[in-house]
Amino acid sequence: MKKCLVAGIILLSGCSYFQPHEQSAEVLHYQCGTMPLTVTLDNAKEEVGFIIDGKSVTLKEQVSGSGARYADDTYTFWSKGDTAFIERNDKVIVDDCQLKPAN
């Protein structure tokens, strides 16, 4: 009886191992002057996504000495604490972004 009970507990505890782990992205809302900016942060994929210049942009995490930096060949998204900005071709195009508190 004890063997069956122990085997049952082991089998049941192992079931969670085979369940797919849900990776949810975090949605961050910034206010950049008069422009709202919604950024999707996916730590599992090490990337951020947002809409800029009328198109959807996804940037991969890059090495940064301070804060978090995500970039591709055109855009860079930098964030540090509750602030952020976006560069296009190494020129700041969106500045003064302040993270809005979650509701």
Q: What is the pLDDT of residues 42-52, one digit of tens each?
A: 999 999 999 99
Q: What is the largest CA-CA distance in the chain?
A: 71
- Domain with residue 35: its CATH number is 2.40.128.200
Task: Look at residue 64 in the predicted model and tell me its pLDDT.
Answer: 84
What is the mean pLDDT of the segment spanning 34-39? 96
Residue 14 falls inside a structural domain: no
Rounded CA-CA distance 12/69 in Å is 42
Predicted structure pTM score: 0.74
The radius of gyration of the chain's CA atoms, rounded to the nearest angstrom, is 21
pLDDT above 70: residue 10: no
Residue 11 falls inside a structural domain: no
Total domains present in the chain: 1
Range of the domain at 65: 22-99
pLDDT above 90: residue 16: no
Q: What share of the chain is helix, strand, coil (3-state, %, to 5)?
A: 15, 50, 30
Residue 56 falls inside a structural domain: yes
Rounded CA-CA distance 103/101 in Å is 6
